[in-house]
Structure 1
Amino acid sequence: MRGKFIILMAVAAIVCGCREEKGEAPRPDAPKKPPVVQEEPAGCRGCHPKASLGAHEGLECVTCHRGRDGSGEQAKAHEGLVARPAHPEFMDEICGPCHMEKIQAAHTSPHFTLKNAVDKVRTHFGAETTLDNLTEIPVTEAPQDTLELADDMLRRRCLRCHVYSRGDGYAYTRHGTGCGACHVAYSGGEMIRHAMLPRPTDQQCMSCHYANHVGADYYGQFEHDFNWEYRTPYTTTEPFIRPYGVEQHDLAPDIHQQAGMTCLDCHSGPELMNLNPATTLSCRSCHEYRPDENATGLANLSFENGTLVLTTLHGGTRLDVPQMSHPAHREFGSQVACQVCHGQWSFNDSTTHLLRSDLDEYDEWERLTVQSSSEVEQILEHNLKSDEEELEPTMRDGITGIPRYGLWYKGFTQRRWEEMVIGRDRDGVIRVFRPILDLRLSWIRDEDDVRFDNVRGKGSGLVPYTPHTTGKAGLFYRNRFRHLLDPNPAAEGSR
């Protein structure tokens, strides 16, 4: 029996082995499907999918930016690209077909040409002719007279904020060019939205109207002195952001700002763009309102049940506009400008010293590296603190961007706000003045070559202006101008 069992087991093993040999061959692996590759869409939207055009959403990107929309390669897509289509160089061609009336008017707007500001400075230093646009300021490598030195100062130090430039390199002073200077939103020095703003906010206005110029006062901002001993914070060792280039004193803002009004509530688009040059707005336009005349030109004013109402353009707040009723308005209204009594403070920087230095010596400026100019500040900080090769003392032309030799430094004899300068203007009206043309220009060519030393222009340098620091007049308003009510008017700009 045992032998038979062994034989049966052997036969079974042989049979199983044969079946394995005759079994089905293993199936080959199924062919793998190629991975799905999602192709990037060709054209502008392929690289810029999040760009929102706002009111211009129906336009193709190439309508304004040119280039080639059908290409998926950057080099080809950017052929003929216009990065800043709203720049004055391109705005006629690109913005003009849709906005021709506004473009043509803007070309003559004081905000665009800066004609008034430029002519004031040039006339003060001896110019006998006026210019139509800031681009006409002569370029001078080596000034031969005071006017040429002033022209160099204007192009490379003064004109840092206009429609041809992106503004100074600080967080709140960067802006677009051309139409984009007002109609493109920036924050932290970068464009934050591609869509054009139909209605600019005060942030756009303040990107130019800062640094002790009208606009900053509306928000109660007054620059600190440049010297590090007079600026705050005193003790921080951490990086400190100065969004407008220099720290600010926080003074009383204008009462209109406190009520929620923005720049455009008084200074409308048609006024700023010179679309309605015949309209001249003043305090009396609203506060001595005559319904039969209605010469304000402001679309946000309405006369309702005997009350003038202003609706703010940003926020829609309705404000009743008080009318002049104090007896002083009748007594002095034709002789005294409103801000003589109602201005809370004013800009009073005197004297302003501007020095062009071609020297590569910087130690004397260690306490004055903050210059309200990011370009000068960068060179001073680098050359005083870095072990790397020194930067050359050059500054770019504020209009063309071309660098030229020499740094323009700035300083003040004093910076004050508390004592307003009150004087009688040429038309006999008593107004607030500021010493904005109280300038001294100098130029050091090298250590032994001082070309100009503390030269000044014509007159006192006092210019009448309207401080945007409106508040209540107070009990002693007469003391500000009583001395000027003499039958024999005092000299221009006298205190």
Structure 2
Amino acid sequence: MIRLYINILVICLLSACQPPFMDSSLGKSGCRRCHSVELDPAHDIGCNACHHGTPEGYTRVQAHNGLIPMPSHPSRMAGACGRCHAREVTAAGSSGHFTMSGVIRAVWSGFFPGEQVPTLLELPIEEPPCTEKGLVSDMLRRRCFRCHVYYQGDDYIGTTRGTGCAACHLSIKAKGPWDHKFRGKVPDIRCLSCHYGNFVGWDYYGRFEMDFEDDFRVPLVEGEHIQRPYGMEWHDMTPDVHRTAGMGCTDCHHSGPCGGKERNVTCTDCHLEDKTGPHSGPPMDRKRIGHRPEDAGLVACAVCHAVWAVQDRGRSLIREDFPDYDDWSYLAIQGSSEVETTVKTCVNLPYEDWTIPRMLDKITGAYRQGLWFESFTERRWGLVELGEDAYGRLTVIRPILDLSLTYVDFSGVVRFDNLQPKIINDDLGSGNATRTGISPLWLPYSPHTIGPADAFRTIYVRSWLNKRIGFFSGIKLLN
């Protein structure tokens, strides 16, 4: 009897030491033996259809041979998502969400006016940066494009997401355990995983990011640390009236990056009497200033109706290849998980144990030396500033190009100091200039803080329109 027990024990131990067989009843490929995921019916087509790999693999290493972890990444989405969604993938690939053409054009034209603007994949890589273009490109690649679909986002629960198509159509970390159910309609929480931190969209929810310095933040509420799902705390401001009414981002921006040339909903689609838009809004009084037919195309609706606007000034971006972490400890929390993790780790270590920092290139996925830190002269919300765009249209503006770049190399030598945009004249050909005497560092934008019209701005608009229309017609318009 004892010998029988010994034999049974030996058999059990030997079987426990064997590599796992991929014989799960949940999936013939064996993937679901280890990966317990739920798929929506349309995408329950087998894991290897998109992720490849070797389903018949005997061990984990064998099964993962040839695995594609992120098949929806922009570099692979045509071969995965595009097999069934060719039109959408083609449209998305050329959209601003994927090309970042608007961001690149604004920054590049500011620093290098009149020069050819590179595409996303043409941005030069210099390591270390030896030229102004190399430095500006490095800043864009490693600090600015943290919200780009090539990158999975900072390591915060509100910003970690998929890449490419999955950035919008799969859930984000904030929703709990990752699932694999694709959604056709994109909820706002997916949009906010990129449109946060004082960028348009964040203001739609009435949020304004706090200052980076510890002295200006409110990390404790009733003695408890508050959560930072987006890396930074925020002030609660007045949300957009459309948000208060229950509308989401895609109610107006319904086409998204997959819509190609499909036009998004405009204010007049829903607020003119004919209401050609999908929503029913209060009709515009066509006799009021700014609503008159002759005013069309001359004044942006937000000029009167924006309740507040973002005015972050004096943005400084500093690359340091071997920073003094003690100097940066009070700015460790600045919306970048890479900066926060590195500074908080090293500041508690003796100097001889400090590590050489690395930061990811958000386009290529490659690490390079140095950290990009950020700070501001002031972060304010306040009066809505107005100016004319390059086409003479009155619009809301903010100091988008009020920034400077500095680079300190590994030896502590300052290679570039306070590099600033070179726009000093109202160069209408650049498309960036304003025509009201305000610095061309202030560029047009569309605040999503819509509410009742501001009385004083309405008075200003009437005066501006009388001059503007009267100049072309030779008569002075009244009322």
TM-score in terms of structure 2 length? 0.83
Deviates more, 1:171-180 or 1:416-425: 416-425
- Output the amino acid matched with 2:94: T
What's the CA shift string for 1:348-398, capped at 9, x where partnerless? 101111111223312222221112111011111111124593231321211
Residue aligning to 1:442? 406
Residue aligning to 2:100? 114
Residue aligning to 2:436? none
Change (3 A) 1:405 1:188: same
Q: Which ranges of structure 1 fall in alignment gaps of 5 or more residues?
A: 1-27, 302-309, 311-319, 490-495
Tell me, in whole angstroms, the C-alpha distance in 1 between the residues paired with 2:69 and 2:110. Answer: 38
Is residue 138 of structure 2 the alignment partner of residue 152 of structure 1?
yes
Deviates more, 1:370-379 or 1:217-226: 370-379
Tell me, in whole angstroms, the C-alpha distance in 2 between the residues paired with 1:222 and 1:151. Answer: 28
Tell me, in whole angstroms, the C-alpha distance in 1 between the residues paired with 2:175 and 2:110. Answer: 34
SS in 2 for 1:159: helix
SS in 1 for 2:307: coil
Tell me, in whole angstroms, the C-alpha distance in 2 between the residues paired with 1:483 and 1:461. Answer: 25
Change (3 A) 1:381 1:47: same
Is residue 325 of structure 2 the alignment partner of residue 365 of structure 1?
no
Residue aligning to 1:321? 281
Change (3 A) 1:442 1:484: farther
**Correspondent of 2:51 among 41, 61, 65:** 65
Residue aligning to 2:449? 469
Deviates more, 1:333-342 or 1:117-126: 333-342
**Correspondent of 1:95 among 66, 81, 84:** 81
Change (3 A) 1:444 1:68: closer
Tell me, in whole angstroms, the C-alpha distance in 1 between the residues paired with 2:71 and 2:412. Answer: 47
Tell me, in whole angstroms, the C-alpha distance in 1 between the residues paired with 2:79 and 2:121. Answer: 19
Tell me, in whole angstroms, the C-alpha distance in 1 between the residues paired with 2:101 and 2:234. Answer: 29
Change (3 A) 1:483 1:371: farther
Tell me, in whole angstroms, the C-alpha distance in 1 between the residues paired with 2:331 and 2:466. Answer: 44
Q: Give the deviation of 1:446 after TM superposition.
A: 5.5
Tell me, in whole angstroms, the C-alpha distance in 1 between the residues paired with 2:271 and 2:87. Answer: 32
Is residue 269 of structure 2 the alignment partner of residue 276 of structure 1?
no
**Correspondent of 1:337 among 300, 306, 309:** 300
Percent identity between the two aligned chains: 38
Deviates more, 1:197-206 or 1:54-63: 54-63
SS in 1 for 2:106: helix
Residue aligning to 1:8? none
Tell me, in whole angstroms, the C-alpha distance in 2 between the residues paired with 1:446 and 1:68. Answer: 44
Q: Give the deviation of 1:339 after TM superposition.
A: 0.5
Q: What is the count of residue pairs matched by the alignment?
A: 434
Tell me, in whole angstroms, the C-alpha distance in 1 between the residues paired with 2:420 and 2:87. Answer: 42
Tell me, in whole angstroms, the C-alpha distance in 2 between the residues paired with 1:219 and 1:423. Answer: 25
- Output the amino acid matched with 2:360: R
Tell me, in whole angstroms, the C-alpha distance in 1 between the residues paired with 2:43 and 2:86. Answer: 20
Tell me, in whole angstroms, the C-alpha distance in 1 between the residues paired with 2:296 and 2:139. Answer: 40
Tell me, in whole angstroms, the C-alpha distance in 2 between the residues paired with 1:480 and 1:368. Answer: 40
Q: Give 1:40-439 correspondences, 5 Å limit.
A: 40-41=24-25, 43-48=29-34, 50-71=36-57, 73-126=59-112, 128-132=115-119, 134-188=120-174, 192-233=178-219, 240-269=226-255, 271-277=256-262, 279=263, 281-288=265-272, 290=274, 294=276, 301=278, 310=279, 320-325=280-285, 327-328=288-289, 329-330=291-292, 332-386=295-349, 389-439=353-403
Contact preservation (8 Å) 2:211, 2:217: yes
Q: Give the deviation of 1:272 after TM superposition.
A: 2.5
SS in 1 for 2:414: strand
Contact preservation (8 Å) 2:254, 2:265: no
Tell me, in whole angstroms, the C-alpha distance in 2 between the residues paired with 1:389 and 1:430. Answer: 56
SS in 2 for 1:284: helix
What's the CA shift string for 1:159-200, capped at 9, x where partnerless? 111111101111100110111010010133865211111211
Deviates more, 1:385-394 or 1:216-225: 385-394
Contact preservation (8 Å) 1:432, 1:466: yes
Contact preservation (8 Å) 2:154, 2:336: yes
What's the CA shift string for 1:228-283, capped at 9, x where partnerless? 000003588765431111110000111111111111110013x4224235x35421
Tell me, in whole angstroms, the C-alpha distance in 2 between the residues paired with 1:84 and 1:186. Answer: 14
Tell me, in whole angstroms, the C-alpha distance in 2 between the residues paired with 1:233 and 1:88. Answer: 37
SS in 1 for 2:235: strand
Residue aligning to 1:25? none
Change (3 A) 1:137 1:274: farther
TM-score in terms of structure 1 length? 0.80
Tell me, in whole angstroms, the C-alpha distance in 2 between the residues paired with 1:50 and 1:362. Answer: 41
Tell me, in whole angstroms, the C-alpha distance in 2 between the residues paired with 1:426 and 1:90. Answer: 38
Tell me, in whole angstroms, the C-alpha distance in 1 between the residues paired with 2:182 and 2:159. Answer: 18
Deviates more, 1:239-248 or 1:188-197: 188-197
Change (3 A) 1:275 1:235: closer
**Correspondent of 2:416 among 430, 452, 475:** 452
SS in 2 for 1:286: helix
Contact preservation (8 Å) 1:287, 1:324: yes
SS in 2 for 1:452: strand
- Output the amino acid matched with 1:408: W
